[in-house]
Amino acid sequence: MTTPAAHRRIVYALTLSLLAAMGPLCIDLYLPALPALAADLQTPTASAQLSLTAGMVGLGLGQLLFGTLSDKYGRLRPLMLSIILLLLATLACAAAQTINQFLCARLFEGLASAGGSVLARAIARDMYNGHELTKFFALLMLVNGLAPVFAPVLGGVLLSFLNWRGLFIALAIIAAVQFVVARINLHETLPPERRSQGSLLQSWAALGVVLKHRSFMSFCLPQGFMMASMFAYIGASPFVLQQIYGLSPQAFSFCFAANGIGLILASQISARLSQLWGEYRILSCGLTLAIISSASLVVSALLHAPLWGVLLTLFFSVACTGIITVTAGSLAMQSQGERAGSASAIIGVTAFTLGGASVPLTGLGGTSLMSMAVTIFGCCLLATLLFLLLARKPQRQSV
């Protein structure tokens, strides 16, 4: 029988996950429509891919905005503001008539959708610490991981009777529903006495304090580069699998969903194993697996591997991100107590800024399996090197 505390935990995890999933949903839902979008707006493939970069840059900048606001004004008011702005920006995406208009709308859509991502982590840190925080992050990943699993599938299905503009109208409807759900299920987790008492500029100054915290950065940076490898895969895979390997939008969606399932399974397994061996050790193993799987992807590109070989190596490369996101994210947030909003903001801006930079790299010289594989491997390598250089076994104490 579910206890009241367990029921409340599940309700919070579901609500926060749906809010945090809006950023990935804004990225993933229209992936199958990227080629059609480029043709409709009469723009090159590289320009269409820039819409992913614009969204991710917005997601990064929005983390800084809403994270610092939440440390000063609480979690709920910035969260509700972000959802309203998201609704308006998504409608602007649907109405765009030129690629420049679309890129601008995507930037603001990403910025607004960051509220759910950054505040989900901050609220979780307000409520939990230690292994409990890791378990809650895994629960967030379980639900949040469904976004990349089902978003391209849903996008592929919707494309059978809607155009790409209709996808953004669907996103706007989802944002409206999320506003109602958040108002009903969430309460303020940062009371006035625990908020930043200085000016807003002083709240921004807290970002510098967190950036200088070695323990935090030793987990934040590896997680950021692993997320960059994920975004490189997200940005390049529609063109690699559809244009090079000839998959239909629907077939691509199901391949993308299979990798999302691997991400979810890996995150849940890592949370369970962390209770036995600790987050630090599981994170080390995850980075090792990431290097092996991404190197195998490069070998697949060199050997011009068949589709099944590429999909197999991609599956494990993506799954490793689930291990690293849960463990590194938990360790980073555990090192920050009173500055949870700022810490969550830096995690987000690091991930999405690096992700925004990695997507164009896959298009240099034309998007190909090799360019995607080399970018993913490079991100995994940098994540591992930074972890080896900076990380020390953490003490389970908040600062």
**DSSP per-residue string spanning 64-107:** HHHHHHHHHH-SHHHHHHHHHHHHHHHHHHHH--SHHHHHHHHH
pLDDT above 70 for 309: yes
- In this predicted structure, which of 22-36, 74-88, 291-305 has the lowest mean pLDDT? 22-36
Where residue 397 falls among pLDDT bands split at 50, 70, 90? very low
Taken in order of first residue, the domains within the chain and their CATH numbers are 10-185+213-390 (1.20.1250.20)
Q: What is the pLDDT of residue 354?
A: 85
Distance from C-alpha of 341 to C-alpha of 346, rounded to nearest angstrom: 9
Where residue 1 falls among pLDDT bands split at 50, 70, 90? very low
pLDDT above 50 for 385: yes
Q: Are 86 and 58 in contact (CB under 8 A)?
A: no
Higher-confidence position of 181 and 156: 181
Q: What does the pLDDT average to over 282-292?
A: 93
Q: Could you tell me which of 331, 314, 326 has the C-alpha nearest to residue 372? A: 314
pLDDT above 80 for 321: yes
Structure-token pair, residue 209: 């304090």
Q: What is the pLDDT of residue 279?
A: 84
pLDDT tens digits for range 219-247: 999 999 998 998 889 888 888 888 888 88
Cβ burial of 213 (10 Å; 0-12, 13-18, 19+) is: middle
Q: Are 187 and 76 in contact (CB under 8 A)?
A: yes
Structure-token pair, residue 46: 């590289």
Q: What is the pLDDT of residue 395?
A: 55
Contacts (Cβ under 8 Å, ≥6 apart) of 235: 49, 52, 53, 358, 359, 362, 363
How far separated are the first and last CA of the chain, in Å rounded? 37
Structure-token pair, residue 352: 């999405």
Helix, strand, coil in percent for the chain, rounding step 5: 85, 0, 15
Higher-confidence position of 258 and 145: 258
Contacts (Cβ under 8 Å, ≥6 apart) of 181: 15, 18
Distance from C-alpha of 275 to C-alpha of 298, rounded to nearest angstrom: 34
* Claim: this prediction has a pTM higher than 0.85: no
Q: What is the pLDDT of residue 106?
A: 93
pLDDT above 70 for 145: no
Average pLDDT, the chain: 82
pLDDT tens digits for range 179-222: 998 888 888 888 887 777 666 666 677 677 787 878 888 899 99
Q: What is the pLDDT of residue 186?
A: 82
Contacts 24+ apart (CB under 8 A), 180-185: 181/15, 181/18, 182/15, 182/19, 182/79, 182/80, 182/83, 183/80, 185/11, 185/12, 185/15
Q: What does the pLDDT average to over 361-375?
A: 83
Distance from C-alpha of 282 to C-alpha of 278, rounded to nearest angstrom: 7
pLDDT tens digits for range 68-121: 888 778 888 889 999 999 999 999 999 888 889 999 999 999 899 888 878 887
What is residue 244's DSSP assignment?
I
Phi, psi (degrees; rounded to nearest 5) at 276: -90, -45
Distance from C-alpha of 137 to C-alpha of 132, rounded to nearest angstrom: 9
